[in-house]
Amino acid sequence: MDIDPKTNAVTPPDISGLNKEQLQKVIDKLKDLQQRVTGLVARGEMLDDSLARVLDEGTGGHTMAQKQIAEGTPEQAERDVHDVLAGTATEEQKARVQAASVLSPEQVADRDAGRPVQLTRSQQQVLGQLQAQMNGMSVEDIHRAEQRLGNNKSIIGNALQMMGSNQYGYAKTELRPGAQGSTTELTTGGYDKLPTSVQEALNDKSPGFSYVSQGPGQGTAPVTQGSTLGNLNRLSDVIKDGDPGFQHGTELDQKLMQRGADILHFENENKSAHLGPADSVIQNIFSSAGRDHIVDHNMMVSPDGKRNDQFLGDLMHHQFPDGGAAAGSLMSWTHDSAHVGPGVSLEQARMSGETARAYSSYVMDHPELNSLPSSDDQGFGNRGVKTFGELNPGLARGMADGLVPYAGIIAGGDHKILGDTPGFDDVPGGDQKFDSQTAVDDGTMPRAKALFRVLDTDTEAAKTLGGALYGDSILATNHYAEEVKQHGVGPAGDLDQAGRFRGLADAGLAAAQDAKHYDASVTAEQKAKDLQQMKETAYGAITKILPVPADLSPGFGIMTDALKSTIIGSAPDPSQLTTSIVPDLSEARAQQQLLSAYVATGVLRTDQVPSNLLVPAGPENPGAMKVGTLEDLRNMKLPDGTYPHAGLRADDYHTMVDRAIQQVPPDARRWTTIQDAYNSAAKDIIAKPAGPKGN
Over residues 547-563, the pLDDT tens digits come to 776 666 667 888 888 88
Q: Which class for 130: exposed (0-12), middle (13-18), buried (19 or more C-beta within 10 A)?
A: buried
445 alpha carbon, distance to own chain's centre = 26
Reported as a pLDDT band with limits 50, 70 and 90, residue 30 is low
Percent with pLDDT over 70 in the chain: 84
Residue 597: burial class (beta carbons within 10 Å; 0-12, 13-18, 19+)? buried
Specify the pLDDT at position 46. 41
Predicted pLDDT at 68: 47
Query: Would you state the pLDDT for residue 580?
Result: 56
What is the end-to-end Cα distance of the chain in Å, rounded? 93
Phi, psi values for residue 583, rounded to 5°: -65, 155
- Span 2-19, mean pLDDT? 65
pLDDT over 80 at 143, yes or no: yes
214-218 average pLDDT score: 74
In the prediction, which pLDDT does 511 show?
86
Instruction: Report pLDDT for 34.
Output: 46
Identity of residue 531: L
CA distances from 202 to 18, 251, 285 (A): 74, 10, 12
DSSP track, 94-121: HHHHHGGG---HHHHHHHHTTPPB---H
Give pLDDT tens digits for 465-493. Answer: 999 999 999 999 999 999 999 999 999 99
Go through 155-194 and write b for each residue having 16 or more CB atoms within 10 A of its CB, e for each that does not: bbbbbbbbbbbebbbbbbbeeeeebbbbbeebbbbebebb
Q: What is the pLDDT of residue 520?
A: 62
DSSP 8-class letter at 179 = P
Share of the chain above pLDDT 90, in %: 64
Instruction: Tell me the DSSP string of 421-480.
Output: -TTTS--TTS-SSSS-HHHHHTT--HHHHHHHHHHTTSHHHHHHHHHHHHHHHHHHHHHH
For position 549, what pLDDT does the model report?
A: 66
Q: Kindly tell me if the per-residue pLDDT of 8 is higher than 80.
A: no
| pLDDT computed for residue 522 by the predictor | 75
Instruction: Using the CB atoms, write b or e for 466-477: b if 16+ within 10 Å.
Output: bbbbbbbbbbbb
Query: pLDDT-based confidence at 211, cuts 50/70/90?
Result: confident
> Looking at residue 76, what is its pLDDT?
95
Q: Looking at the predicted structure, is the pLDDT value of residue 43 above 70?
A: no
**Residue 95: is its pLDDT beyond 70?**
yes
Q: What is the pLDDT of residue 37?
A: 46
Assess whether pLDDT exceeds 90 at residue 332. yes
Residue 546: alpha-carbon gap to chain centroid: 12
More confident residue, 61 or 104: 104
Helices and strands (DSSP H and E) totals, the chain: 31, 10
* pLDDT bracket for residue 70 (50, 70, 90): very low
Whether the per-residue pLDDT at 380 is higher than 50: the answer is no
Q: Is the pLDDT of residue 416 over 60?
A: yes
Report whether 336 contacts 398 (CB < 8 A).
no
Q: Among 378-387, 447-456, 465-474, which stretch is predicted with the lowest mean pLDDT? A: 378-387
Residue 289: is its pLDDT beyond 70? yes
User: Taking all residues of the chain, what is their mean pLDDT, rounded to a whole number?
Assistant: 87
